[in-house]
Amino acid sequence: MVDAFQANQADLPIDIEHATELKAPRGDPAPAVGWIKGLEVRDGGAVWGWVEWNPQGRSLMEEKSYRYLSPVFTFDTKTKRILQLYSAGLTNQPNLHLTALNQRIQPAGEHVMTLPLALCTALGLSAQATEAQAVSAIHQMKTDKDKALNSVSHPSLEKFVPRADHDAALNRAQAAEIRLREIEHKTLHQHIEDELEKALKTGAITPATVAYHRACCQQDGGLKRFREFLQCAPRMGEDTDWDKKAVNKQNRGLSEEDKVACSSLGLDKDAFNQIKETASWLS
């Protein structure tokens, strides 16, 4: 009953003495004094309703002009299960024992249509769902579909960009990435050449091994390892001035001190120069 009320999506009238059922079909006025705006099932299976009274209905309640509320509903003629509430009337003579007023009679032999279980499952409804609930579910699905199609046709500019703009931005990003790699490669190459030149000057490596060390430096982490190698690599001997100390014997003369030494030692000029040259290399 609650599901049917929610699927109907309309308030139900509360009138006086079932005017909606008895007078309205004849064209007579049947004003409502209140409206049932919600139904809920509480403990024990009782169905409670929330009513909004108009001034006339509120006055009738406060004055206690009517004591009882009589519902109008439909039910399954086989199971006797109540299916849907249609209205209610204020009365002083409860008529639950009067069939014509407390229920809407189904024609003889006519039963409430039951929906196929597969259809109820597809619509997300219970196996006891009514036709009105199925129609409401279908309308909701159509509404959701229209909203989805509208979202696809008119996407939010905050979340989407034109494909041309996306491709252009992607191309710029890829070009910038390639340019960055080229700069990094060029910078690394310059660092490697600087380190190799420094190592050659300090004697840490020889010209014959430059190509080998260059290839090692170009590997991942190679420059760092080469720098660590340079910190502990032995150095080649530095240039000496020995060649400048070698003097042609014929061009070398004796100083006055040398002549005194030769005379004292009894040596001739050549012997003295040979001894002096040997002493100079040893020093």
Tokens matching residue 22: 């008895």
Looking at residue 103, the DSSP 8-state letter turns out to be B
Amino acid letter, 5: F
Enter the tokens of residue 78. Answer: 């086989």
User: Residues 24-45: pLDDT tens digits?
Assistant: 878 889 899 999 999 999 988 8
pLDDT at 11: 93
Instruction: Confirm if 196 and 214 have CB atoms less than 8 A apart.
Output: yes
- Cβ-contact 34, 25 below 8 angstroms: no
What pLDDT does residue 57 have?
A: 93
Q: How far apart are CA 275 and CA 256, in angstroms?
A: 17
**The predicted structure's pLDDT at residue 148:** 80
pLDDT digits (tens, 9 = 90+) for 198-215: 888 888 888 888 899 899
Residue 12, classed as helix, strand or coil, is: strand
Cβ-contact 89, 17 below 8 angstroms: yes
pLDDT at 180: 87
**pLDDT value for 97:** 45
Place of tokens 């959701």: 144
| Selection from 221, 202, 222 nearest residue 212 by Cα | 222
Domain ranges of the chain: 2-135, 163-232, 254-283
Within the chain, which residues score under 70 in pLDDT?
95-117, 127-128, 152-160, 236-253, 278-283
Cβ partners under 8 Å of residue 84, min gap 6: 1, 4, 5, 8, 73, 74, 130, 132
Helices (H), the chain: 2-8, 19-22, 55-62, 99-102, 117-123, 131-153, 163-202, 210-217, 222-232, 242-245, 256-265, 269-282
Q: How far is CA 36 from the centre of its chain?
A: 45
Q: Kindly report the pTM of this predicted structure.
A: 0.37
